[in-house]
Structure 1
Amino acid sequence: MITKPDSPLRVLLLGGTTEAAALARALADDKRLAATLSLAGRTANPVASPLPVRIGGFGGVDGLSAYLAHARIDLVIDATHPFAARMSANAISAAAAVGIPLLAIERPPWTRTGGDDWIEYDSIEAAIAGLPAAPQNVFSALGRQAIPALSKAPQHRYLIRVVDASDAPANLPHATMIAARGPFRAEDDIELFSRHGIRHVLAKNAGGNAAYAKIEAARKLGIKVHMVRRPAIAARETVTSVEAALAWITRHHQLRSERGV
């Protein structure tokens, strides 16, 4: 499909992160572009976006490839969560199948600093299994999808933070649910952990600033962090900032203008 050089560059932004939200705001006012934000639909009330929003899955690589072709997408920006490995893998394969460029905004992972007490694991299940056998006060920042895995160790007194409010499941009799949306502040998490007597934190190495408060709070209170390492994702072109992603989009717009197609 030939695109006129003066028509808007069509961008699919795979979102769900603070970086995606910031990039969406920047793209919304750019008349050179026609961008769409795609969200997985895992939260009931996503943050409002200035871009047109598509909610829900694509149906794997084939479904995403079909969407890219039908919508005549020119560029794909993967700004999903670092643990959305399946979506990222599908995006890599689909963009390659259709023959369009893909860029990922990849936050640097958190690194251990002085005073941190971390144990690192390769999976959520391993991190939960690494908790002591005796009942503990545990803060879980693993997300709603990890709740079934917590039921493998139901003896603990869990404080589970999720975006959407819900009741604790029956198979976690000592769990308390709290609904909150980041970014969070370290002083608030220090107060939260102190009030609930938290001695262990379950976390995924998401990187970035929005969710780092729990790591800082654990450090200051001497709490052990059970950290899940990021899943491996195939090689792809990456940047670490919204500004670099905007520069990448501009370069591709200029290239298309120079080619005159």
Structure 2
Amino acid sequence: MTARILLLGGTGDALAIARTLGPQHVYSLAGLGRVPADLACAVRVGGFGGAEGLARFLADANIALVFDATHPYAAQISANAARACMAARVPYWALRRAPWQAQPADDWRMVSGWTGVVEAIAPFARPLFTLGREPLAHLNDVPPQQHWTIRCLEAHPGHARARIIDARGPFTADGERALFTEACIDVVVSKNSGGAATEAKLAVAREMGLPVVMMQRPPLPGAQREFASAQEAIDALAHPI
């Protein structure tokens, strides 16, 4: 890999790719979660200042390729990356992990945003949120008849009607089954992230007959090359240009 690559990450797939990059490449993290200490590539933490700031960074750092391995719901980051690459005339590649597909026994309630989530969980008492940090901004709005369990990457102070669990996948079916039972979960709230690392919650919800409130994926920009798995990306990045 001779051309200098900027890898936009924060997901498990991005970390797997970053572990194959040499010291001339840059792995960019938004700043949430833990910064890995076992990488040979440079690690940059923090934003770029929108598409214009990223375009300046690409020119100043002599980046020859941007690879977007951010979360499927990081729509703004992906949009900024696509715009910056167009402005800087740098190739834009992306990992586009396939979404999960509902199985015949699944009870998925599709919603498009936080308002839809709140409406969908109104009949339930013990929701499990697996949306990342977003529910933390709404802890003061927990209805008195509900108790939330929120799983995200970072520890957060507790709340009278919410339990916050800091944990990072992969999660097993046995672990999810134990959590659902111990916390009396009656509905799961999820993003359709795809991949195997966090899919066990859907299998356990299916097994226990629990509904899943599923947030729809946002539209993402197209890329010159798109990949469905980290391994496909690693193979392609071995000879990127």
Q: TM-score, normalised by structure 2?
A: 0.92
Q: Which moved more, 1:49-58 or 1:233-242?
A: 233-242
* Letter paired with 1:95: C
Paired with 1:49 and 1:215, the residues of 2 have a C-alpha distance of 32
Paired with 2:237 and 2:133, the residues of 1 have a C-alpha distance of 34
Unpaired segments ≥5 residues, structure 2: none
Partner of 2:180: 193
Paired with 1:229 and 1:167, the residues of 2 have a C-alpha distance of 29
Partner of 2:169: 182
Give the 5 Å matches for 1:65-144.
65-133=55-123, 136-144=125-133
Partner of 2:229: 241
Partner of 1:48: 37
User: 1:21 touches 1:49 (CA, 8 Å); kept in 2?
Assistant: no
1:23 equivalent in alignment to 2:23: no
User: 2:142 touches 2:161 (CA, 8 Å); kept in 1?
Assistant: no
Paired with 1:23 and 1:197, the residues of 2 have a C-alpha distance of 37
SS in 2 for 1:130: helix
Q: Which moved more, 1:48-57 or 1:65-74?
A: 48-57
Unpaired segments ≥5 residues, structure 1: 1-6, 254-261
Q: CA deviation at 1:251?
A: 4.6
User: 1:128 touches 1:202 (CA, 8 Å); kept in 2?
Assistant: no
C-alpha deviations, 1:52-81, integer Å up to 9, x for none? 100000000111000000000000000000
SS in 2 for 1:161: strand
* Letter paired with 1:136: A
Say how many residue pairs are matched: 238
User: 2:139 touches 2:162 (CA, 8 Å); kept in 1?
Assistant: no
Give the 5 Å matches for 1:214-233.
214-233=201-220
Paired with 1:229 and 1:151, the residues of 2 have a C-alpha distance of 25
User: 1:103 touches 1:245 (CA, 8 Å); kept in 2?
Assistant: no
* Letter paired with 2:199: Y
Paired with 2:122 and 2:138, the residues of 1 have a C-alpha distance of 16
Q: CA deviation at 1:166?
A: 1.5
User: 2:153 touches 2:166 (CA, 8 Å); kept in 1?
Assistant: yes
The 1:114/1:151 distance shift into structure 2, 3 A limit, reads farther
C-alpha deviations, 1:68-125, integer Å up to 9, x for none? 0000000000000001110000000001100011110111000001321111111133
Report the aligned-residue RMSD.
Answer: 1.8
User: 2:187 touches 2:211 (CA, 8 Å); kept in 1?
Assistant: yes
The 1:105/1:49 distance shift into structure 2, 3 A limit, reads farther
Partner of 1:146: 135
Q: CA deviation at 1:194?
A: 0.7
- Identical counterparts, % of pairs: 37
Q: TM-score, normalised by structure 1?
A: 0.85
Question: Which residue of 12, 29, 47 corresponds with 2:6?
Answer: 12
